[in-house]
A and B are shown apart, each in its own frame.
Chain A
Amino acid sequence: MIDILNSIKSDSISKINELDSLHELDQLKSFLLGKKSPLMDVLKDIPKIPLEKRPVIGKEANQLKQELTKRLNKKRDELINKERDDFLNQNQADVTLPTSGFPSGSYHPITIVTRYVCSILNRYGYAIKQGPNIETDFNNFEALNIGPNHPARDMHDTFYLKNKTVLRTHTSPVQIRTMLEQEPPIKIIAPGKVYRCDADTSHSPVFHQVEGLCVDKHITFSDLKGTLEAFLHELFGDEHAIRFRSSYFPFTEPSVEVDVSYTINGKTTWLEIMGAGMVQRNVFRQVSYDPDSYTGFAFGLGIERIAMILYKIDNIRLFYENDHRFLTQF
Chain B
Amino acid sequence: MKFPLSWLRDYVSIDCSVNDLVDTLTMAGLEVDHVDTIGDSLEGIITGRIDSITRHPNADKLVITSIFDGNTHHQIVTGASNIKEGDIVPVSLPGAVLANGMLIKSAQLRGITSDGMLCSEAECGIADESSGIWILPPDTPLGLDFVSFAILKDTVLDISILPNRGDCQSMLGLAREIAAITKQSFSLPKINLNESSIKHSYSVTSKSELCPLYIGRYITSLMNGKSPLWMQRRLQLCGIRPISIIVDITNYVLLETGHPLHAFDDRLCYKKTFTIEEAPPSTSMTTLDGQSRSLDNQQLLIMESNKAVAIAGIMGGQDTEVSIDTSTVFLEAAYFDPTSIRRSATSLGLRTESSIRFEKGVCIDTVDYASQRACFLLVEHAGGSLSNHVVISKQDKHACFTQHKIPFSFDKLNAFLGSTFSQKQMESVLIPLGFTFSKQAISVPSWRSHDITEWPCIAEEVARLIGFDRIDSTLPQSLPIQDKDDPIVDLIQTVQDFFVANGFNEVNTYPMISDDDLTVMGLGSKESWNELANPISPQLALMRPSLLASLLPLIAYHSTRQLPNQALFEVGRTFHKDHELTSLGIVIGGKLDLAAYTPAKRDLETDIFHHLSHTCSRFFQHLGLSVTLKPDSQHSCLWKHPTLNYLLYINKIPIGSLAHVHPTLLDHYCIKEPVVYMDIDLTTLLDSLNPSKTYDAFSRFPSIRRDIALCVPDTLSFSDIMAIITKYKHKSVLKTGVFDVFESETLAPYTRSIGIYLIYQSMTETLSDDTVNVNHQRLCDRLTEFLPVQIR
Q: List residues of A whose CB falls within 8 A of some B CB.
A: 97-108, 110-111, 115, 122, 125-130, 132-134, 147-152, 154-155, 159-163, 167, 182, 185-188, 193, 197, 199, 205-206, 214, 216, 218-223, 225-227, 229-230, 243-248, 250, 253-256, 278, 280-281, 295, 319-325, 327-328
Contacts and interface: CB of A to CB of B under 8 A. Distances in A.
A134 B594 contact: no
Nearest to B488: A130
A102 B474 contact: no
A292 to B, nearest CB: 10
A246 B464 contact: yes
Q: How large is the interface on B (under 10, 10 to 19, 20 to 34, 35 or more residues)?
A: 35 or more
A246 B469 CA distance: 11
Contacts of B480: 185
B477 to A, nearest CB: 7
Contacts of A147: 339
Contact of B489 (A130, A220, A323): A130
B241 interface: no
A253 B473 contact: no
A285 to B, nearest CB: 11
B505 interface: yes
Contacts of B735: none
A322 B486 contact: no
B415 A220 contact: yes
24 contacts: A98-B595, A105-B504, A115-B493, A130-B488, A134-B530, A149-B343, A151-B163, A159-B535, A160-B533, A187-B479, A193-B511, A193-B573, A205-B540, A206-B510, A216-B476, A218-B477, A223-B475, A226-B472, A246-B460, A248-B29, A248-B163, A253-B456, A278-B456, A319-B508
A214 B479 CA distance: 10
A254 B464 contact: yes
A161 B343 contact: no
A129 B486 contact: yes
Nearest to A221: B417
Contacts of A101: 594-595
Interface string B496-523: 1001111111111111100000000000
A94 B140 CA distance: 94
A103 B342 CA distance: 57
B496 A107 contact: yes
For the complex of A and B, list the 5 residue pairs with the smallest distance between their C-beta atoms, beginning with the closest. Answer: A222-B418, A220-B418, A246-B29, A254-B460, A102-B503
B180 to A, nearest CB: 13
B596 interface: yes
A127 to B, nearest CB: 4
Interface string B577-612: 000100000000000111111100100000000000
B356 to A, nearest CB: 8
B27 A111 contact: no
Contact of A226 (B468, B473, B561): B473
Nearest to B463: A254
B468 A225 contact: yes
A133 B533 contact: no
B484 interface: yes
Given A185-B480, A226-B473, A322 B554 contact: yes
Contact of A220 (B417, B468, B535, B601): B417
A128 B360 CA distance: 36
A105 B533 contact: no
B748 interface: no
Given A152-B163, A154-B163, A248-B29, 15 more contacts: A100-B594, A102-B594, A104-B503, A105-B502, A107-B496, A151-B359, A163-B530, A186-B483, A205-B512, A222-B471, A223-B476, A245-B468, A246-B463, A254-B464, A321-B557
Interface of B: 26-29, 31, 162-165, 338-340, 342-343, 346, 359-360, 415-419, 454, 456-457, 459-460, 463-464, 468-469, 471-477, 479-480, 482-486, 488-489, 493, 496, 499-512, 530-536, 540, 543, 554, 557-558, 561, 563, 566-569, 573, 575, 580, 592-598, 601
A131 B620 CA distance: 26
A255 B451 CA distance: 13
A102 B469 contact: no
Contacts of B360: 151
Nearest to A129: B486
Contact of A214 (B340, B464, B476, B575): B476
B468 A256 contact: yes
| Residue from A149, A154, A188, A250 having most chain B Cβ neighbours under 10 A | A149
B506 A320 contact: no
A115 B597 CA distance: 38
Contact of A281 (B456, B479, B486): B456
Nearest to A164: B533
Nearest to A279: B456
Contacts of A127: 482-486
B534 to A, nearest CB: 6
Contacts of B496: 107, 111
Interface centre among A97, A101, A163, by most chain B C-beta atoms within 10 angstroms, is A101
Contact of A104 (B460, B477, B500, B592): B500
Contacts of A132: 573, 580
B507 A327 contact: yes
Contact of B416 (A103, A220, A230, A244): A220
Contacts of B474: 220, 222-223, 225-226
Nearest to B475: A226
Contacts of B535: 159, 197
A324 B511 CA distance: 20
A133 B572 CA distance: 11
Q: Which of A216, A248, A320 is the most central at the interface, judged by chain B CB atoms within 10 Å of its CB?
A: A248
B533 A187 contact: no
Contacts of A185: 479-480
Given A108-B507, A223-B474, A322-B554, A295 B416 contact: yes
Contacts of B598: 100
A99 B486 contact: no
Nearest to A148: B343
Given A230-B475, A328-B505, A103 B418 contact: no
Nearest to A278: B456
Contact of A253 (B163, B460, B471, B575): B460
Contact of B500 (A107, A130, A150, A243): A107
B676 to A, nearest CB: 15
A198 to B, nearest CB: 8
Contacts of B476: 187, 214, 216, 219, 223, 227
Contacts of B512: 205-206
A126 B530 contact: no
Contacts of B164: 248
A205 to B, nearest CB: 6
Contacts of B417: 220-222
A212 B557 CA distance: 36
